[in-house]
Structure 1
Amino acid sequence: MPTILDVARKANVSAMTVSRVINGSGPVNEETRRRVEQAMKELDYYPNSNARSLVKKETRLLSLLITDITNPFYTTLARGAEDAAKRLGYRLIFCNSDEDPAKEKEYIEMLLSTQVDGVLFAPSGDDSLKNLRLLRKQGIPFVLIDREVPNLECDKVLGDSMLGAHKLMEHLIENGHRRIACITGPKHISTARDRLQGYLATLKLHDLEIDPSMIIETEYTLGSHQEVMQKLLELQTLPTAIFAANNFVALGAIKELRKHGWKVPEDISVVCFDDLDLLQDLDPFLTVAKQPSYDFGVFGVQMLVERILGTATSNFRTIVLPPEIIIRRSSRNINAALE
């Protein structure tokens, strides 16, 4: 990671002059200021907003950068990360990108300025690669959680999305469903691709028709999903079940079905990835592939601290956590109705 001394050498000025430019603490002529700022830019130098020090010191700070803090999956993951960080003697800074790579970049730049010791990172999508390369260029260790990014070797804690999708589809097929729609997430997100692949592979395994009109892409975030459901409800032959890529997608689908007078599961069954945890403790309803979200945070922080302390193996590691299939009232057996 470049230091203030590197900036001073490149700009051909003293470290004190660089400090004055950074802090606005003394007179610097405009030409000198321009050279210093250009050197900082070329070196990707980010001032330490905590210490403004010539010597980089360990901050005992970690960051958790996730995509949607309102999603119960990430809320529980954050709890696990915080508990693990505290146990290991670190503090945790929470950042929420809202699935926005531009906002994600802003947080990365802020974290570089703060000089955190490491980042636990749930990427907003494949475009996160350039942000992760910036962290690596600056020598900041990171661990990916929940999602992968193509063409990047690093430590990861992932769920088995293909396995979970396969098991949910097997549940529906065993219960008589043959026309199963898939509301998938954005194709630039690895979990969406894996869950769609699990859906398709299971249909092929059972020699069931793959109908492109019943595969619809939407966002992972909580919203009306009105247009998505409108496409399904306009089909000449409706699906008997919907496989939703995550819990928020499932909630949006159920809301729209009810708005149009369709009952779940009497008319259409709905299954999805990720549970709702505290949001549905009083009336558990959704059939889900529940991921151990707390463990994502715990394992992620443990791997990150090992990388920071230099106790990790030289090879990057991947932990894959299997989901638990929980059968509830949102899916039903239609075998009897088909006989």
Structure 2
Amino acid sequence: MKRGCVLVSKLLEVAKLAGVSKATVSRVINNSDAVSPQAKQKVLEAMETLKFQSHNLKRAPESSSMLGVVLPFGKHIWSHSFGIDILAGAEEKAFDHDYMILIGNSNGGRETALTANMTSRGVEGLIVQSAERGQAEHLRYVQSLGVPLVLVDQKVEGLQSHLVRGDNFSGAVTLMTHLFEHGHTRIGLVSPNKHFTYKERMKGYRFALLDRGIWMPESYEALGGDESLAAQLNRMLMQNEPPTALFVASTGMLREIIDVLGEHNLRVPEHISIVTFDEHYSIVPEGYQEFFTSINQSGKLMGSMAVELLFQQLRNPAMEPQEIVLPGRFTERRSVRRL
């Protein structure tokens, strides 16, 4: 094995035992001031346990100056998307600190392989928008190596990690309040029934109804599953008292919703009102651009804050997991009619 590979391997051993990043170990052995006393003590104790001498590791590079970003872009990457904005915000913040970004598209179940490949290539931190529902072992492995990790947008159940996300619950309450103020009380819910983000939006929808003492029957919910969205919407719209408004948790559903409404000769907002999230990231039918009242989140701010959290971990590997919740911006457009 080449000496450089041996040095990196030894750095990783020390980092794992000390519970810090490889870069922190390298900074300690190179007498850098950018290490907290607590982290330095952990590294020295780990080196003593492993019987590694600092002079044998001195030639190891202090930093790869590389951060990894793993996002589920899908089969087609389009320029004005939430993921691209996360990446842009991360890249700008990293560039300001003389770091580069290594990008991975986790579409197709590649998240586990990508995180493993990036850590083996010496990235100093990872930002992950996880699409692996209920699976966290690959992310725990990243943490076990002492590589700083920040999740964006999606919380992973059972994993204690730094997280930057939008305030989906409060955003949902804001949208529902807007509908109430325009006289709507029969409000249907259209949402994927998966992922932390959508579950938080559904909680906000239901809380807002409960807070007003309004009860909605189960038939007012279209939550995907085995039955098609179109079939669920058709049943909702054909009730004796159909909804006067729809709360749409995912903009990715708007195109199909508009198609179904058209089959019933329903127009927005003349016949039915719609509120949603992140309207400016959606691909909507012709004539519906900048049309929907929505809560808009900033992917760029999420990406930037995630990189800042990585740098904080590099300076202080022992810091407790932080959850940064970013408020969305309410934008009123033309999709809600006053009753």
What TM-score comes out, normalization by structure 2 length? 0.74
Matches within 5 A, 1:168-317: 168-187=175-194, 189-218=195-224, 225-276=229-280, 283-308=289-314, 310-311=315-316, 314-317=319-322
User: What is the Cα deviation at residue 259 of structure 1?
Assistant: 4.2
Q: Which amino acid aligns with 1:83?
A: E
Q: In structure 1, what is the Cα distance between the partners aligned to 2:182 and 2:99?
A: 48
Q: CA deviation at 1:185?
A: 2.2
d(CA) in 2 for partners of 1:248 and 1:278?
6
Give per-residue Cα distances to partners, 1:80-110, cap 9 Å, x unaligned: 1111111111111222223x5x321122222
Any gaps of 5 or more consecutive residues in structure 2?
A: 1-5, 13-58
Equivalence for 2:125 = 118
CA contact (8 A) 1:73 1:276 kept: no
Q: Per the alignment, do residues 305 and 193 of structure 1 end up closer, same or farther by CA in structure 2, a change over 3 Å counting?
A: same
For 2:60 and 2:131, locate their aligned partners in 1 and report how far apart those are by CA, in whole Å.
Answer: 33
Hey, what's the Cα distance between the residues in 2 that align with 1:143 and 1:255?
38
Asked whether the equivalents of residues 247 and 276 of structure 1 are also in contact (C-alpha less than 8 Å), the reply is no
How do residues 55-66 of structure 1 correspond to structure 2 at under 5 angstroms? Answer: 58-66=63-71
Aligned-partner Cα distance in 2 for 1:6–1:67 = 31
Structure 1 distance, partners of 2:271, 2:240, is 15
Deviations 1:174-233 (A, max 9, x none): 11111111112233x1111111100000001111112111122238xxxx9434433433
Deviation at 1:277, TM superposition (A): 5.1
Contact residue 125 and residue 190 of structure 1 kept, 8 A: no
C-alpha distance in structure 2 between counterparts of 1:183 and 1:93, whole Å: 36
Any conservation in 2 of the 1:250–1:270 contact (CA below 8 Å)? no
State the partner residue of 1:319: 324
Find the partner of 1:96 among 97, 105, 111.
105
Q: Which amino acid aligns with 2:210?
A: K
Deviation at 1:313, TM superposition (A): 6.4
**CA gap 1:267/1:137 in 2 versus in 1, 3 angstroms:** same
Please say if residues 158 and 320 of structure 1, whose CA atoms lie closer than 8 Å, have aligned partners that are also in contact: yes
TM-score, length basis structure 1: 0.74
CA distance in 1, matches of 2:198, 2:132: 10
CA distance, structure 2, for counterparts of residue 329 and residue 268 of structure 1: 12
| SS in structure 2 at match of 1:198 | helix
Structure 2: distance between partners of 1:154 and 1:205: 32
Q: In structure 2, what is the Cα distance between the partners aligned to 1:210 and 1:119?
A: 42
Aligned pair partner of 1:159 in 137, 162, 166 = 166
Rounded Cα–Cα distance in structure 1 between residues aligned with 2:133 and 2:253: 20
Structure 1 CA distance for aligned equivalents of residues 256 and 282 of structure 2: 18
Rounded to whole Å, the distance in 1 between the matches of 2:85 and 2:10 is 42
Question: Which sections of structure 1, spanning at least 5 residues, go unmatched?
Answer: 8-53, 335-339
Residue 85 of structure 1 aligns with which residue?
94
RMSD: 2.8
Q: Distance in 2 between matches of 1:72 and 1:6?
A: 38
1:108-142: CA deviation from partner (whole Å, max 9, x where unpaired): 22223322111111111542422211211222211
- Residue identity (%): 27
Aligned 1:68-79 pairs, distance under 5 A: 68=73, 70=78, 72-79=81-88
More displaced 10-residue stretch of structure 1: 252-261 or 156-165: 252-261
CA contact (8 A) 1:145 1:156 kept: yes
